[in-house]
């Protein structure tokens, strides 16, 4: 944590990356107060923060980042904000984009305004590699134009640009991280890796979109959180930092690795109708981040094995999530796709 910042607000801290980040910063002794503001949408889960609740430095507030009155009050008592809060699932942004605009764009504006009013020492916007859009060859640099192609990534690009504009226009000390596909413990089982692990544990089919040759740049959540912490402390105000570990894999290759770790057959794979507007490839140039002294610590082999073990050992965490609204979403998203899918290898 920055030596200057002893009182911090983390938004979206009951979600996947935010809860892992809260755990990381409370393991150190740099903070006197950590406020987590989270709306507890379907993706937010207090169980993700269970082990932190007894820490006297920790406070949880259930609320919306788009609620100006609440945000202003909370911002008056901290010196900085790290904004993880977002609607984060691409498929849901295709089905129901409105919440992406209100949270990812408008909510970020509300936070920036409060940070400006209260003269915060730092504002870190957690952005994504998806703002660059599909990258056919090479790797994205921070100076590349943003070219988002889904309602999710367009909303995230809006927030990213707005945060940068607050630096230029108002001198707010903003830094932005653009992270790659992240995996690890506490990830809601709608994203590829936890969905496929939990389905495979139950011998349920794995719905692989299209030909499965789309490529992602995978990073373990511990490495992603360490990078956010470093950029928060040492990043140059007004700059964005790509956060990726250089683990490029196609979805079909990744699926094979998960099945091998779980000792399940390739016949669980179903090739299903593709995601509309599906970005084929993301890849990040991370030289700006590594120049700050960051290096990934977790290899893809070790990270995937540890993640598979975590889901095997934490059924009590994920089984209750795969019920109610989740099952309705699952049926809408995958019902027809799976019925028409073909068994793959
Ligand atoms: P997540 O969906 O697991 O968590 C999002 C959290 O935000 C949830 O706890 C949810 O309750 C909360 N939230 C949603 N709307 C809110 C609102 N209006 N007010 C307050 N809280 C609200 O997401 P994640 O995977 O942990 O992603 C965290 C951030 O990192 C997001 O900004 C996402 O865009 C970004 N990111 C994610 C990845 C990835 O692979 N998961 C990669 C790069 C960047
Ligand atoms: O059922 C599926 N089948 C499938 O083939 C799902 C859920 C995904 N996929 C494919 C789509 C992608 O090519 O797997 C890849 C990964 O999909 P997601 O886990 O949905 O991630 P992605 O769309 O790449 O976006 C993620 O990384 C960047 C996060 O969800 C974002 O929040 C982050 O910004």
Nearest ligand 1 atom to alpha carbon 130: 43
Please pick, among 38, 109, 132, 152, the residue that the annotation labels catalytic.
Answer: 152
Two tokens, residue 62: 């259930």
CA of 4 to the centre of ligand 2 (A): 36
Please report which helix (H) or strand (E) contains residue 269, including its range: strand 269-272
Cα dist from 225 to 71, 82, 206, 208, 230, whole Å: 24, 11, 28, 28, 9
Band (pLDDT 50/70/90 cuts) for residue 3 is low
Band (pLDDT 50/70/90 cuts) for residue 72 is very high
CA of 332 to the centre of ligand 2 (A): 17
pLDDT confidence of residue 272 = 98
Band (pLDDT 50/70/90 cuts) for residue 330 is very high
The answer to whether the CB of 188 is under 6 A from ligand 1 is: yes
pLDDT, mean of residues 103-130: 98
Print the domain residue range for 49.
7-182+219-243
Please pick, among 130, 190, 217, 222, the residue that the annotation labels catalytic.
Answer: 130
Please pick, among 91, 104, 129, 279, the residue that the annotation labels catalytic.
Answer: 129
Which CATH number goes with the domain that contains 42? 3.40.50.720
The answer to whether the CB of 85 is under 6 A from ligand 1 is: yes
- Is 187 part of a structural domain of the chain? no
The answer to whether the CB of 198 is under 6 A from ligand 2 is: no
The answer to whether the CB of 83 is under 6 A from ligand 1 is: no
The answer to whether the CB of 289 is under 6 A from ligand 2 is: no
Band (pLDDT 50/70/90 cuts) for residue 55 is very high
pLDDT, mean of residues 286-304: 98
CA of 216 to the centre of ligand 2 (A): 9
- Is 34 part of a structural domain of the chain? yes
- Is 283 part of a structural domain of the chain? no
Q: Is 325 a catalytic residue?
A: no
Separation of alpha carbons 139 and 244, rounded Å = 11
CA of 331 to the centre of ligand 2 (A): 18
- 127 CB burial (10 A radius; 0-12, 13-18, 19+): buried
Contacts of 285 (CB under 8 A, 6+ apart): 139, 140, 141, 242
- Is 310 part of a structural domain of the chain? no
Two tokens, residue 47: 């169980």
Domains in the chain, number: 1
The answer to whether the CB of 43 is under 6 A from ligand 1 is: yes
pLDDT confidence of residue 344 = 82
pLDDT, mean of residues 335-341: 97
pLDDT confidence of residue 4 = 80
- Is 48 part of a structural domain of the chain? yes
Two tokens, residue 94: 């295709």
Answer yes or no: is pLDDT of 97 > 90.
yes
Answer yes or no: is pLDDT of 1 > 60.
no
What does the pLDDT look like over 195-212, one tens digit per residue?
A: 999 999 999 999 999 999
b/e burial code for range 169-197 (CB count within 10 A of at least 16 → b): eeebbbbbbbbbbbbbbbbbbbbbbbbbb
Contacts of 89 (CB under 8 A, 6+ apart): 43, 152, 190, 191
Q: Is 95 a catalytic residue?
A: no
- Is 105 part of a structural domain of the chain? yes
- Is 25 part of a structural domain of the chain? yes
DSSP-derived letter for residue 273 is: P
pLDDT confidence of residue 345 = 62
Band (pLDDT 50/70/90 cuts) for residue 2 is low
Answer yes or no: is pLDDT of 58 > 90.
yes
Separation of alpha carbons 239 and 231, rounded Å = 10
Candidates 188, 184, 189; CA nearest to 220 is 184
The answer to whether the CB of 209 is under 6 A from ligand 2 is: yes
What pTM does this model have? 0.98
- Is 87 part of a structural domain of the chain? yes
């Amino acid at each position: 944590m920055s030596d200057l910042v002893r009182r911090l607000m983390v938004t979206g801290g009951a979600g996947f990356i935010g809860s892992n980040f809260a755990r990381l910063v409370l393991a150190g002794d740099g903070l006197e107060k950590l406020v987590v503001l989270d709306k507890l949408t379907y993706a937010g889960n207090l169980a993700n923060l269970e082990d932190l609740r007894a820490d006297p430095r920790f406070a949880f507030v259930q609320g919306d980042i788009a609620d100006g009155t609440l945000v202003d009050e909370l911002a008056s008592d901290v010196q900085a904000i790290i904004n993880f809060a977002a609607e984060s699932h691409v498929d849901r942004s295709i089905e129901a984009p409105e919440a992406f605009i209100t949270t990812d764009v408008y909510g970020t504006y509300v936070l920036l305004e409060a940070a400006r009013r209260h003269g915060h020492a730092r504002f870190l916007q957690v952005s994504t590699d998806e703002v660059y859009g599909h990258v056919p060859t090479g790797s994205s640099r921070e100076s590349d134009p943003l070219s988002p192609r889904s309602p999710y990534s367009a909303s995230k690009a809006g927030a990213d640009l707005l945060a940068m504009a607050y630096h230029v226009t108002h001198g707010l000390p903003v830094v932005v991280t653009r992270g790659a596909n992240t995996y690890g413990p506490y990830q809601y089982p709608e994203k590829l890796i936890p969905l496929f692990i939990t389905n495979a544990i139950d011998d349920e089919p794995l719905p692989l979109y299209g030909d499965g040759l789309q490529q992602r740049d995978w990073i373990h959540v511990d490495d992603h959180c360490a990078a956010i912490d470093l950029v928060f402390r040492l990043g140059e105000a007004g700059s964005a930092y790509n956060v990726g570990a250089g683990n490029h894999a196609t979805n079909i290759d990744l699926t094979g690795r998960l099945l091998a770790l779980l000792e399940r057959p390739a016949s669980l794979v179903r090739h299903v109708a593709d995601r509309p507007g599906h970005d084929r490839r993301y890849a990040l140039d991370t030289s700006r981040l590594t120049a700050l002294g960051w290096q990934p610590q977790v290899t893809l082999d070790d990270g995937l094995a540890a993640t598979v073990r975590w889901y095997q050992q934490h059924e009590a965490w994920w089984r209750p999530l795969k019920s109610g609204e989740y099952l309705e979403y699952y049926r809408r998203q995958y019902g027809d796709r799976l019925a028409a899918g073909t068994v793959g290898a």
